[in-house]
A and B are shown apart, each in its own frame.
Chain A
Amino acid sequence: MTTASTHSEPELVEFDDVVARFDPVLGIEVHVELSTNTKMFCGCPTEFGAEPNTQVCPVCLGMPGALPVVNRAAVESAMRIGLALNCEIAPWGRFARKNYFYPDMPKNFQTSQYDEPIAHDGFLDLTLDDGEVVRIGIERAHMEEDTGKSLHVGGADGRIHGADHSLLDYNRAGVPLIEIVTKMIPDTGARAPEVARAYVTALRDLIKSLGVSDVRMDQGSMRADVNLSLSPSGSGQLGTRTETKNVNSLRSVERAVRHEMSRQAGVLDAGGEIVQETRHFDEATGHTRAGRRKETSEDYRYFPEPDLVPIAPSAEWVEELRGTLPELPWERRKRIQTEWGISDEEIRDLVNAGALDLVEATVAAGASSQEARSWWVAYLAQQANTRSVELADLAITPEQVARVIALVADGELTNKLARQVVDGVLDGEGSPDEVVAARGLKVVSDEGELIAAVDAALAEQPDVVEKIRGGKVAAAGAIVGAVMKATRGQADAKRVKELVVERSSL
């Protein structure tokens, strides 16, 4: 059988052309590292970023004689994820061993639920940007343990082949993982990349709302593998799929699907066949590349894990956990939209800006939703951008933002002064009230002081006074500017303007 090699890049087909002639079929597997305090089968901590090999014990190092014990908190997290995804919870299920040799896997088998998942047959409804709702079928969510990490030194691309030596860190070995697998997602056509991204986004938000994982794709606590195949339009024949791994951001999910569609179409157009293989997404090029080909297919020799007893959650336990499910992200959005009276587009902007939680907290601290939204998506978003941090990582709390808004509402600050106060807070000068006091930022509300300043400005620009008297009220702007400058911006500009008109007419 001769095929177009997957190693030489085929001609990429234009995306529009791909969807005109092919139907993509998606399948997405997402691994989520649970943020339990301890690992899946031992008491070691799971914290990210510790010194290599400091969070290990005989169990997660696979020492001879050590035995696993299932982490109850991980089982609860898995069940809550399953329930939130509208899955059935299996009343009985065993772990299995997936056997293969790799240095970063201490026992040379991975303990995984494999074919007896704790949750199965659910769905997740996505709302796309134009409001269309797509239902993604969930095949299963199962528990397993993570592997350690290998660092290959001296080779190309950090790969094991060609490396001089490898360093192994087992801190991650045994961290609880939930693998969530969709059913086949057909009929998405040109929207396949968008649907893939929307699914991973929705899943991330859902899991975050459950509080069971920090779902940081950049730190690997959430990882997506994208399966994709193409079939000739309308043929209904399933094509051969590839599995693209290492897709580590939401944007990459979309790009990987888009690229893989163009690449597969290119292979098929050239008369080749798609090879069922694992591919890796390259962030830099936006392309997928074939993993090393194995001469023989993997045989993982699965069998039930004899060191563990089956997981058999009682109906009461399942119901108890169902009762702990928080307001789910989409329900919350609907509620907030109604409460604040904002459009679909406005709420989506808030979500996309990562501002929803912050605005909600600011409102909870007493601000109006209108003002709170305006601060977070405008001035603060701009500050975050300037300072190259995430909005949520700005050095200001929603409560402080609410305080600034209150000071403006009370007439204590102008909007311009308020921005200076916020700058002070962001620069670490203290709370809004401390910044106000320290910088002496206060609206000049002494009428006599203002009148004196206006009169002084008018006296300096008699020509302008003439214009105002002649009915050119717009000319007052120059005088207002001068007064604001003289009061270092601490005057209420609206009142100044009134005074300018009043005093110039005397």
Chain B
Amino acid sequence: MSASDLTRLTAAELASRIHAREVSAVEAAQAHLDRIGAVDSRVHAFLHVGTESALASAQRVDAALADGAEPVSPLAGVPLALKDVFTTTDMPTTCGSRILEDWQPPYDATVTERLRAAGITILGKTNMDEFAMGSSTEHSAYGVTRNPWDTARVPGGSGGGSAAALAAHEAPLAIGTDTGGSIRQPAAFTGTVGVKPTYGGVSRYGLVACASSLDQAGPCARTVLDAALLHEVIGGHDPRDSTSIDQPVPDVVAAARQGANGDLSGLKVGVVRELGGEGYQPGVRAAHDASLRRLEKLGAELVEVSCPHFEYGMAAYYLILPSEVSSNLARFDAMRYGLRAAEGRSAEEVMANTREQGFGPEVKRRIMLGTYALSSGYYDAYYGQAQKVRTLISRDFAAAFSQVDVLVSPTTPTVPFPIGEKVDDPLAMYLNDLATIPTNLAGVAGMSVPSGLAEGLPVGLQVMAPALGEAVMYRVGAAFEAARDADEGGPLIARVPEVTA
């Protein structure tokens, strides 16, 4: 099998060939490293490629298999792209920020540890909006990532690097983080699959915080099954994260396999009235209507549900997130690690100058918003009210999930937009996450699966499930994916144009 064929396989297929010793993990790693070498100068999905550590990791998997050992996990030997927001002892962790340029963490994130323990080959660290703040990856201090579907357009954000790496076949698996849509929106924009697990489902230890109460790490892949396989590797309780849920990971792999059989009869799918009308592009709406018809054809019963408080989600989110950001990012003060401004006659001046030089405009904007929102005299009106909205949104979800098994909506209001179009218009940028934010506020699960094309660009279907209800979400996602691929004569990702340098 040629190297380029190896990069076209799903993670599950690649794993089975590696475990059958038809292909070595080193060959798989090398094929993807070569692919990165060929296309990443154009895509710019990666901030750091760890060639040596990737090959060393793959060699260990091959050596164990050669000794006759069982694979350490179903994904042992499969390459992966890791968002540059997770700490890694063998690679820098920059979070797309100048303030952490070249920072080499002294410890591995729990997600990193679990990937290593599963024998997954970490190819490198992917580009992102600075500290995960943005919806286009244009807010990275290290340059924009391009959408493989149209390199003049954004791949979404903040996890644009991870999503673009999948779509450009630079990796079959990736890890993202989702605070308001940073896994799902890029998945929709790149025709890939992205999952935001239940809050607390995946450890945040070593995930450099954006907004602690909203951040959630999750799997990114080109198929629902691959995402499920990766979900099982990274999910589960971690005593180092107090907000981690002490319960078994839902059996998402079995659910994905069951869903692929293509029968959703008996399931009730709620269509959220508030997500999908005004503000959504006609092409996106058309794709969504087609998706609903497809779900019906699979046997699901469609039920229109109303979540009246979702319309306040965006406002609440942009109070809670900046508030937490303003506090979480206070530690970047040049005293212990990271950038240190040369100028300054006192510690305070060095701190101020470093933060002035080290943070980009979007990060500064949110720090200022959050500092203001938490200020004495404003707390109740802003942060306090936003928390009340959050409770109301959770109640909307609870009411909806008492009627239906999952909720669906378009993942994003638009198709990928041209680079530069919204970077100076924060409000327009923020609207990207209109449909994805409510799940973060409520801590429930959400995923985006490719649903079709509009104007030749990918559109995603969002499936949402109650907390720890990932199994039914994966089942619906896999059933939908199988039906779409069967109807359209192959996966959507097969239609991504070849990237040319």
Contact = CB atoms under 8 A, between A and B. Distances in A.
B107 to A, nearest CB: 5
Contacts of A64: 87, 93, 95, 100, 103, 105, 208-209, 331-332, 337
A63 B375 contact: no
A321 to B, nearest CB: 21
Interface string B243-263: 100000000000000000000
A69 interface: yes
A160 B331 contact: no
B371 A67 contact: no
A325 interface: no
Interface string A295-325: 0000101110011110000000000000000
A66 B205 contact: yes
A354 B172 CA distance: 71
A65 interface: yes
B402 to A, nearest CB: 26
A103 B376 contact: no
Please give me the 3 A-B residue pairs with the lowest Cβ-Cβ distance, nearest first.
A108-B330, A301-B374, A306-B212
A99 B205 contact: no
Nearest to B213: A306
A40 B333 CA distance: 23
A106 interface: yes
A301 B326 contact: yes
B378 to A, nearest CB: 10
B330 A58 contact: no
Nearest to B93: A64
Interface string A87-110: 000000000010101010011110
A146 to B, nearest CB: 17
B375 A67 contact: no
Most buried by B among A65, A306, A309: A65
A65 B205 contact: yes
B440 interface: no
Contacts of B326: 99, 301
Given A65-B86, A301-B327, 11 more contacts: A66-B206, A67-B242, A97-B327, A101-B351, A108-B331, A166-B347, A301-B374, A301-B375, A306-B211, A306-B213, A307-B243
B364 to A, nearest CB: 16
Contacts of A160: 346-347
29 contacts: A63-B106, A64-B100, A64-B105, A65-B105, A65-B109, A65-B204, A67-B241, A67-B242, A69-B240, A69-B242, A97-B327, A99-B327, A99-B330, A101-B330, A103-B335, A109-B327, A301-B371, A301-B374, A301-B379, A303-B324, A303-B327, A303-B379, A306-B211, A306-B213, A306-B243, A307-B242, A307-B243, A308-B242, A309-B243
Nearest to B103: A64
Nearest to B337: A63
Interface string B220-247: 0000000000000000000111110000
A62 B243 CA distance: 18
Nearest to B207: A65
Given A65-B207, A67-B204, A101 B348 contact: yes
Interface string A199-236: 00000000000000000000000000000000000000
Interface in A221-262: none
Interface string B383-402: 10000000000000000000
B336 A61 contact: yes
Given A64-B87, A67-B204, A70-B242, A307 B212 contact: yes
B126 interface: no
B319 to A, nearest CB: 11
A99 B327 CA distance: 7
A168 interface: yes
A61 to B, nearest CB: 6
A68 interface: yes
Contacts of A68: 242
B336 A303 contact: no
Interface of A: 58, 61-70, 97, 99, 101, 103, 106-109, 160, 166, 168, 299, 301-303, 306-309
A96 B213 CA distance: 13
Nearest to A104: B335
Interface in B322-342: 323-324, 326-327, 330-333, 335-337
A308 B243 CA distance: 6
B335 A299 contact: no
A58 B347 contact: no
Contact of A63 (B107, B241, B242, B335): B107
Contacts of B379: 301-303
Contacts of A106: 331, 335-336
Given A160-B347, A307-B212, A103 B333 contact: yes
A101 B330 CA distance: 8
Q: With a 10 A CB-CB cut-off, give which of A61, A64, A70, A309 has the most chain B CB atoms.
A: A64
Contacts of A67: 204-205, 240-242
Given A66-B206, A299-B376, A107 B240 contact: no
Nearest to A109: B327
B376 A301 contact: yes
Contacts of A301: 326-327, 371, 374-376, 379
B215 to A, nearest CB: 9
B33 to A, nearest CB: 26
Nearest to B131: A64
A363 to B, nearest CB: 47
A68 B331 CA distance: 14
Contacts of B105: 58, 63-65
Contacts of A299: 375-376
Contacts of B331: 62, 64, 106-108
Most buried by B among A66, A70, A106: A66
A65 B336 contact: no
B97 to A, nearest CB: 10
Interface in B187-206: 204-206
B347 A103 contact: yes
B381 to A, nearest CB: 14
A65 to B, nearest CB: 4
A99 B325 CA distance: 12
A346 B331 CA distance: 55
Contacts of B241: 67, 69
A486 B213 CA distance: 87
A52 B266 CA distance: 64
A308 B351 CA distance: 27
B374 A108 contact: no
Contacts of B333: 101, 103, 108
A307 B240 CA distance: 11
Contacts of A302: 374, 379
Interface string B71-110: 0000000000000001100000101000010010111010
A124 B14 CA distance: 70
Nearest to B107: A58
B47 to A, nearest CB: 15
A80 B241 CA distance: 26
Nearest to A161: B346
B330 to A, nearest CB: 4
Nearest to B348: A101
B339 to A, nearest CB: 13
Contacts of B109: 65
Nearest to A43: B240
A97 to B, nearest CB: 5
A148 to B, nearest CB: 10
Nearest to B347: A103
A70 B103 CA distance: 28
B126 to A, nearest CB: 16
A65 B330 contact: no
B221 to A, nearest CB: 23
A99 B374 contact: yes
A8 B482 CA distance: 82
Contact of A168 (B100, B324, B335): B335
Contacts of B106: 58, 63
Contacts of B327: 97, 99, 109, 301, 303
B206 A65 contact: yes
